[in-house]
Amino acid sequence: MPISLRVFSIDKLSLSLYNFLIFRIIKLKIMKKVILPMIAIIVSFNVLAGSGGPDTFGYTWVDSNDPNGPTYSWIDITPFGKKIFGLGDDNVVGPFSVANNFLYYWYTLSEFYVGSNGYVSFGNINIASPFPSIPDSLDGKHNFVAGMMCDLNFTGSGNPGECFYVNLGDSLIVSWIDVPFWDQAAGYTGANSFQIIFRAQDRSITINYKDQTGLTQNNDITVGIENVSGNIGLQHSKDTYPISGYSIKYEYPANPSLLVTDGSANWNGNKRNGAIFLPYPSDSISLTTNIANLGNQDISPFTVTGFVRNSSGNIVVNSSINTLDTMTPGQDTTITFPNGFTSPAAGTYSYVTEVSGIANDASASNDSTIQEIISVDTSFANISLSYTDNMNESEISWAGGSGGIGVYFEPPYYPSKIVNTTFLISNNLSNSTFYAKIYDDDGFNGSPGTLLDSVFVDAGQINIGVKTTVQTANPVTVYNGGFYVMWDMNGPDIALAYDMTPPFSFRCYEVFNNIWAEYRDIESTDFFITAGIEKAIIDDIGVPQAGSPANGSTITAPVPVACWIKNYGQAAASNFMINYQMEGSTVVSESYAGTAIQPGDSAYFTFATQLAVNTDTTGNLCIWSEMLNDFDNSNDTTCITVTIDAPNVSVNELEAGNWKLEVFPNPSDGKFELRILNNEFKNGKVTVYNVLGEKIFQSALNNNQSTIDLKSHPKGTYILHLLVGDKAHIRKIITL
pLDDT > 80? residue 270 = yes
Kindly state whether residues 415 and 442 are assigned to the same domain.
Answer: yes
Q: What's the rounded Cα separation, in Å, for the pair 405 and 422?
A: 13
CA distance readout (Å), 616 to 537, 645, 732: 46, 5, 13
C-alpha torsion angle, residues 298, 299, 300, 306 (rounded to 10): -160
Q: What is the mean pLDDT of residues 417-433?
A: 96
pLDDT for res 719: 83
Interacting residues of 528 by C-beta distance below 8 A, sequence separation 6+ = 386, 388, 392, 422, 423, 424, 467, 496, 497, 498, 499
Kindly state whether residues 443 and 501 are assigned to the same domain.
Answer: yes
* Residue ranges with strand state E in 653-704: 653-656, 659-664, 671-677, 684-689, 695-701
- Which of 286, 310, 396, 297 has its CA nearest to residue 3? 396
Kindly state whether residues 528 and 581 are assigned to the same domain.
Answer: no
Look at 21-30, 266-275, 363-372, 573-582 and tell me which has the smallest mean pLDDT: 21-30
Q: What's the rounded Cα separation, in Å, for the pair 229 and 292?
A: 12
Kindly state whether residues 162 and 294 are assigned to the same domain.
Answer: no
- Per-chain mean pLDDT for the chain: 88
Kindly state whether residues 418 and 512 are assigned to the same domain.
Answer: yes
pLDDT for res 651: 34
Residue where one domain finishes, among candidates 473, 507, 535: 535
Q: Which of 2-11, 35-44, 404-413 has the highest mean pLDDT?
A: 404-413
Residue 31 included in any domain: no
Kindly state whether residues 190 and 276 are assigned to the same domain.
Answer: no
Q: What's the rounded Cα separation, in Å, for the pair 297 and 289?
A: 22
Q: What is the mean pLDDT of residues 187-214?
A: 96
Q: What is the CATH number of the domain that holds 427?
A: 2.60.120
Q: What is the CATH number of the domain that holds 692?
A: 2.60.40.3080
Q: What is the mean pLDDT of residues 158-169?
A: 94
Radius of gyration of the chain, Cα coordinates, nearest whole angstrom: 35
Q: How confident is the model at residue 731 (pLDDT cuts 50, 70, 90)?
A: confident
Residue 107 included in any domain: yes
Q: What percent of the chain has pLDDT over 70?
A: 90
pLDDT for res 49: 60
- Cα separation of the two ends of the chain: 69
Residue where one domain finishes, among candidates 600, 615, 644: 644
| Nearest-5° Cα angle at 688, 685 to 694 | 125
Residue 33 included in any domain: no
Q: What is the mean pLDDT of residues 344-353?
A: 96
pLDDT > 80? residue 347 = yes
Kindly state whether residues 122 and 247 are assigned to the same domain.
Answer: yes
Provide the domain limits for residue 453: 382-535
Convert the pLDDT of each residue in 286-338 to its tens digit.
999 999 998 889 999 999 999 999 999 999 999 999 998 899 998 999 999 99
Look at 95-104, 297-306, 374-383, 576-585 and tell me which has the smallest mean pLDDT: 95-104
pLDDT for res 371: 97
Q: What is the mean pLDDT of residues 87-92?
A: 93
- Which of 288, 281, 274, 405 has its CA nearest to residue 339? 288
Kindly state whether residues 518 and 621 are assigned to the same domain.
Answer: no
pLDDT > 80? residue 691 = no
pLDDT for res 62: 96
Residue 4 included in any domain: no
Kindly state whether residues 524 and 388 are assigned to the same domain.
Answer: yes
Q: DSSP letters along 44-113, please? A: B--SS--EE---SS--EEEETTSTTSPPP-----TTTSEEPP---BS-EEEEEEEEEEEEETTEEEEEEE
| Nearest-5° Cα angle at 142, 257 to 82 | 105
Residue 5 included in any domain: no
Which of the pair, 33 or 456, is modelled with greater confidence?
456
Q: How confident is the model at residue 718 (pLDDT cuts 50, 70, 90)?
A: confident
pLDDT > 90? residue 70 = yes
Q: What is the pTM of this model?
A: 0.70
Residue 65 included in any domain: yes
Q: How confident is the model at residue 46 (pLDDT cuts 50, 70, 90)?
A: low
Q: What percent of the chain has pLDDT over 90?
A: 67
Look at 7-16, 277-286, 496-505 and tell me which has the smallest mean pLDDT: 7-16
Kindly state whether residues 277 and 314 are assigned to the same domain.
Answer: yes
pLDDT > 80? residue 648 = no
Q: What is the CATH number of the domain that holds 365?
A: 2.60.40.2550
Residue where one domain finishes, among candidates 227, 251, 275: 251
User: Coil, strand, or helix at residue 359?
Assistant: coil
Which of the pair, 391 or 511, is modelled with greater confidence?
511
Q: Which amino acid is at 113?
A: Y
pLDDT for res 245: 95
C-alpha torsion angle, residues 585, 586, 587, 590 (rounded to 10): -120
pLDDT > 60? residue 7 = no
Q: Residue 459 burial by CB count (10 A; 0-12/13-18/19+): exposed, middle or buried?
A: middle
Residue 256 included in any domain: no
pLDDT for res 599: 94
The β-bridge partners of 485 are: 407, 438
Convert the pLDDT of each residue in 439-472 to its tens digit.
999 998 899 999 999 999 999 999 999 999 999 9
Q: What's the rounded Cα separation, in Å, for the pair 469 and 104?
A: 49
* DSSP annotation of 554: E
Kindly state whether residues 481 and 586 are assigned to the same domain.
Answer: no
Q: What are phi and psi of 194, to 5 degrees?
A: -150, 165
pLDDT for res 1: 62
pLDDT > 90? residue 630 = no
Residue 34 included in any domain: no
Kindly state whether residues 242 and 351 are assigned to the same domain.
Answer: no
Total number of domains in the chain: 5
Q: Residue 124 burial by CB count (10 A; 0-12/13-18/19+): exposed, middle or buried?
A: middle
pLDDT > 80? residue 575 = yes
Q: What is the mean pLDDT of residues 246-261?
A: 92
pLDDT for res 45: 57
Look at 556-560, 640-644, 674-678 and tell me which has the smallest mean pLDDT: 674-678
* Residue ranges with strand state E in 82-221: 82-83, 92-104, 107-115, 119-121, 144-149, 162-168, 171-183, 187-199, 204-213
The β-bridge partners of 183 are: 187
pLDDT > 70? residue 16 = no
> How far out from the chain centre does Cα 61 lie?
38
